[in-house]
Amino acid sequence: MKIVTRRNFMRTVVYGIPSACLVEAGFIERKWLRLSYLRLEDNARLRLVHFTDLHYKGDKKYLSRVIQRMNDVSPDFACFTGDIVENTRHLSDALDVLSGLHCPLYGVPGNHEYWSHAPFAEIEACFKATGGDWLPDRAVLTRDKTCLIEGLSGVTRPAQMENQARLLLEQDTENELEENREFPKGIERILLTHYPATANRLVKMKYDLILAGHSHGGQVRLPFWGALLVPGDVDGYDAGLYDTPAGPLYVNVGIGTWHIPVRFFCRPEITVIEI
C-alpha cells in the first residue's frame, strides 16, 4: 500500500490542477456549445439567432452541429457578425454547411474576411440562397417588412449608413422620412457590426438592437475578473448585453477560436433573441 505523503499530495495539486484546466480548455469547453436566451420586449414578435466568429478550419462535424442547434429553435432569421474563415481554402466548405440553415441568414464581414481576401460574391450568393443577404455597408428590409437590418463593415461612416437606411425605407414603404424624423413604428431596426466599439460611434443614431462579435469573450475568462485579453475595437464591450446611447448592444463570444485553440469559462455561444 502506497502512503500519500504531504509532498506527494502537494505535487499532485501543483501539477494536476493546471493539467486539468488545460484539458478542459483545449478539449472540452472549446466545442461545448451554449444556447443563450435574451428577451428584449414583453410582446416580442420576432425570434432571431445570433452567431459570430466561426474561424472555420475544416471541422465540418462541429459546424454542422452549430447549424443544427440553430435550426432546432426555429428562428425567423439568423444574424452573423463576421469572421467565417481565416484562410479562403476553407471557405467553400464553410459556406456549404451554412447553406443548411432553414431560415434567412444575414451577415457582415469581419477583419478576417478582409485579411484573407475572401470573395464577397461567393459569400453573398450563399447568404442570398437562404433568403437573407450579405450586408457590407448595406441595409435591407426583411421580406415581411417588419425589420430593417443594417450592416456596417467598419469602413463606411455611420452617417452614410443612416442616409442609406432612410432612402431604403422611403422606397419600400412609401414613407417620406425627414432627416431628423424617427423611423416608422412597427419596423425593428437592427445593426450588424463586427466591432463592439462601433456602438460608441453611432452619434444620434438609435437602434432596437445592435449585434457584434470580434471579442471572442477573451476566450479565457477568470471568475470575478473576466477576460484576460481582448482584441482592439472592443472598448470594454467584451461579452453579453450592454446599454449604449445608440441602443442595446449584444456581444456574442463566438463559435471558433483564434490564435490559441482554447476556451476557459467562455463556452462557444449561439444567442436566441426575442424582440
Q: Tell me, yes or no, whether 135 lies in a domain.
A: yes
How many residues are recorded in the chain? 275
Domain coverage including residue 126: 32-274
pLDDT tens-digit readout, 228-256: 989 999 999 999 999 999 999 999 999 99
- Number of structural domains (the chain) is 1
Mean pLDDT of 153-159: 65
Question: How wide is the angle at C-alpha 233 spanned by C-alphas 231 and 235, nearest 5°?
Answer: 95
- What CATH number does residue 118 fall under? 3.60.21.10
Global confidence as pTM: 0.86
Instruction: Output the CA torsion sign for 215, 217, 221, 226.
Output: positive
Question: 16-36 pLDDT, tens per residue?
Answer: 434 434 444 444 689 999 999
Per residue in 174-199, pLDDT (tens digit) is 555 445 456 667 889 999 999 999 99
Is 176 part of a structural domain of the chain?
yes
**Which contiguous run of DSSP H or E holds residue 168?**
helix 158-173
Task: Say what the pLDDT of residue 185 is.
Answer: 74
Q: What is the pLDDT of residue 23?
A: 42
